[in-house]
C-alpha cells in the first residue's frame, strides 16, 4: 500500500490538524470546537535595551494566551534567535492540552523573545530579562493569579529568579509574588525536582508503557526497558535527564546522541553523563574521546535502527522528507512538536507507535503546578507530616521486633523510619500523575475502536475535559 503524504504546514496548523483528527471522536455543541482551538490573545512587544558597549538594541517578543478556561494560564518563556508568533501560538495551544491531560488546573500560554543568549553576558541578560518582565507585567500578561511563565529553551532558574524579583519590585503589595513564575532556584522559592521534571516525566511514561505487554506488542517490541536501544536527539535539559535516568536506572542502552554539530554512535552504548560534560565544556559533541563514532550529519541519526527514538530538541524534526526512513518502532516525543502532522500520517500508516508530546513532556508543568501551590500556600512540602511519618515508621519497626524477637536490619529500619521530604513527594506526585494520564489515554485507545493511536486518544481525553469545563462555565 503506497504511503500518502500531505504538504508541510506551519507549526500551529499542524497542531490544529492533529486536534481536528481527535475532534471526529468527541461530541461537542456546534462552534465549541472552534472556541477551544482558538488562541485567545497574543501580546507582541518591542523594547530597547542599552548594552554594555553603549549601543541600543531593540528586542522583539511575544506572550500568547491560548485558553483561560482555567486560571492562571501557564507556559514557558523561550529565548531563541529564530522564533515566531506562529511557534508561540502553537506551543501555547499544546500547553492547554497538556494541562488537561495531566489534570493540572491551568490554561495554556507561552512566551518567547528573539535573542541569542550566547551573544550576551550575564549583566546584559539580566537587563533584557527584567525589561521583558516589565512589559509582561504592565500589559497584565504576568501574575500569580493570571499568567505564570516558566523556563523553556534558552531560559532557566536564573532568568526565572530575575523575573520574580522584578515582579516583586513592580507589585510589592502582592504577598503571592513568588507564584508569578515557576522554575525558580530552590533558594528563591523554587521546588526540588523541577529542573529534571520533564526528563523524569519521560522516564515515568516509558516505564508505564512497558508495564503493559499489549502496548509493547503494538510497537512490535518484547520485554521491558532493560537493554532497549535508544537514539536521543538533543542533550539539553530534557534529553539529558531522560537519557541519564533511563540508562542508569532502567538499563536502556543509548546508542546515539544527536546534537547540532553531528552525532555520536556507539552500538554498545554511550555514557550519557560523559557526553553531557563534554558538550558543556566544548559546546558540542565534536572531539568526544569516548567509545563513539562521530558523524557530521546529525539528522541522519533519526533514521538509525533502534528500539526507541527520543526526539528532545526542536519542533518539525521528522517531516515528509524523512518520515518514511525512520526505523524505530517506538517514537517518544520528549520535545514539543518534533513530528509534523504530515509525517505523523506517514508514521501511523507504517505502524510506528508514537507516544505524543502532549503526554510525554508534561512533567515540567506538573512540577510547576506543585511549585505554584507551594508558593501560594507559603509552606514547603513535607513540613507538616515528615516527622509524623518518621515516628510512625519507628513504631512499626519496633512492633516488628517485638513480634519476631529479631532486630530489624539497619537498612530496612532506615527505609521504614524515613519521612518523605520535598523531593520524594514531588517525585511521587509526578510519577502518579504521569501513570494516571497514560492509563486514561490507554483506556480510550482500548475501548474506542475508532481511535487507533496514542496521539488521537490523548487529544480526545484533553478535548472532553476542556469541553466539559467550557459547558460548566456556560460558554
H or E stretch at 23:
helix 11-23
Whether residue 184 lies in the annotated active site = no
Give the Cβ contact number of residue 10 at 10 Å: 15
Q: Are 245 and 200 in contact (CB under 8 A)?
A: yes
**Cβ neighbours around 305 below 10 Å, total:** 10
Look up residue 457 and give its three cell numbers: 486518544
Catalytic residue among 74, 110, 184, 244: 110
Q: Compute, in degrees rounded to 10, the torsion defined by CA atoms 101, 254, 429, 437.
A: 20
Sign of CA dihedral 287, 288, 290, 292: negative
Residue with cell 518484547: 222
Phi–psi pair at 103, nearest 5 degrees: 55, 40
Query: Is residue 317 within 8 Å of residue 335, measured between CB atoms?
Result: yes
Going by their DSSP bridges, the two strands 308-311 and 56-65 should be labelled as unpaired
Set of cell numbers at residue 364: 515540567
Distance between CA atoms of 341 and 151, rounded to whole angstroms? 26
Residues designated catalytic:
110
Amino acid at each position: 500500500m503506497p504511503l500518502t503524504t500531505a504538504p508541510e504546514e506551519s507549526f500551529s496548523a499542524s497542531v490544529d490538524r492533529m486536534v481536528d483528527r481527535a475532534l471526529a471522536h468527541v461530541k461537542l455543541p456546534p462552534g465549541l470546537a472552534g472556541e477551544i482551538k482558538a488562541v485567545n490573545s497574543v501580546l507582541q512587544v518591542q523594547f530597547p535595551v542599552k548594552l554594555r558597549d553603549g549601543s541600543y538594541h531593540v528586542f522583539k517578543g511575544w506572550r500568547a494566551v491560548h485558553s483561560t478556561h482555567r486560571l492562571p494560564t501557564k507556559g514557558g518563556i523561550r529565548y531563541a534567535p529564530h522564533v515566531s508568533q506562529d511557534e508561540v501560538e502553537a506551543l501555547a495551544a499544546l500547553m492547554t492540552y497538556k494541562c488537561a491531560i495531566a489534570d493540572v488546573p491551568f490554561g495554556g500560554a507561552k512566551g518567547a523573545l528573539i535573542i541569542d543568549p550566547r551573544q550576551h553576558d550575564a549583566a546584559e541578560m539580566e537587563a533584557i530579562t527584567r525589561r521583558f518582565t516589565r512589559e509582561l507585567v504592565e500589559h497584565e500578561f504576568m501574575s500569580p493569579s493570571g499568567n505564570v511563565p516558566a523556563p523553556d529553551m534558552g531560559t532557566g532558574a536564573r532568568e526565572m529568579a530575575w523575573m520574580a524579583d522584578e515582579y516583586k519590585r513592580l507589585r510589592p503589595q502582592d504577598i503571592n509574588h513568588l507564584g508569578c513564575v515557576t522554575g525558580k532556584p530552590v533558594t528563591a522559592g523554587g521546588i526540588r525536582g523541577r529542573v529534571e521534571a520533564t526528563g523524569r516525566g519521560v522516564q515515568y511514561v516509558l516505564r508505564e508503557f512497558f508495564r503493559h505487554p499489549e502496548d509493547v506488542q503494538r510497537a512490535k517490541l518484547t520485554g521491558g526497558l532493560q537493554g532497549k536501544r535508544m537514539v536521543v536527539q538533543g542533550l539539553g535539559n530534557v534529553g539529558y535527564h531522560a537519557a541519564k535516568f533511563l540508562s542508569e536506572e532502567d538499563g536502556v542502552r543509548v546508542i546515539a546522541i544527536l546534537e547540532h554539530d553531528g552525532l555520536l554512535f556507539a552500538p554498545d552504548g554511550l555514557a550519557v553523563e560523559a557526553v553531557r560534560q563534554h558538550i558543556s565544556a566544548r559546546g558540542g559533541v565534536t572531539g568526544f574521546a569516548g567509545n563513539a563514532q562521530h558523524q557530521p550529519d546529525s539528522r541522519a541519526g533519526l533514521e538509525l535502527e533502534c528500539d526507541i527514538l527520543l526526539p528532545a530538541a526542536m519542533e518539525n524534526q521528522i517531516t515528509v522528507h524523512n518520515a518514511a526512513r525512520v526505523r524505530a518502532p517506538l517514537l517518544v516525543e520528549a520535545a514539543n512538536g518534533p513530528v509534523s502532522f504530515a509525517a505523523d500520517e506517514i508514521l501511523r500508516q507504517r505502524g510506528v507507535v508514537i507516544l505524543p508530546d502532549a503526554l510525554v513532556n508534561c512533567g515540567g508543568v506538573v512540577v510547576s503546578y506543585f511549585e505554584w501551590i507551594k508558593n501560594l500556600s507559603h509552606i514547603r512540602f513535607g513540613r507538616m507530616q515528615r516527622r509524623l511519618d518518621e515516628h510512625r515508621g519507628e513504631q512499626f519497626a519496633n512492633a516488628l521486633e517485638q513480634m519476631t524477637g529479631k532486630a530489624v536490619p539497619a537498612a530496612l529500619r532506615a527505609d521504614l523510619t524515613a519521612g518523605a521530604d520535598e523531593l520524594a513527594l514531588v517525585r511521587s506526585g509526578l510519577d502518579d500523575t504521569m501513570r494516571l494520564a497514560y492509563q486514561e489515554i490507554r483506556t480510550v485507545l482500548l475501548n474506542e475502536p475508532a481511535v487507533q493511536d496514542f496521539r488521537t486518544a490523548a487529544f480526545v481525553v484533553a478535548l472532553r475535559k476542556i469541553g466539559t469545563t467550557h459547558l460548566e462555565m456556560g460558554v
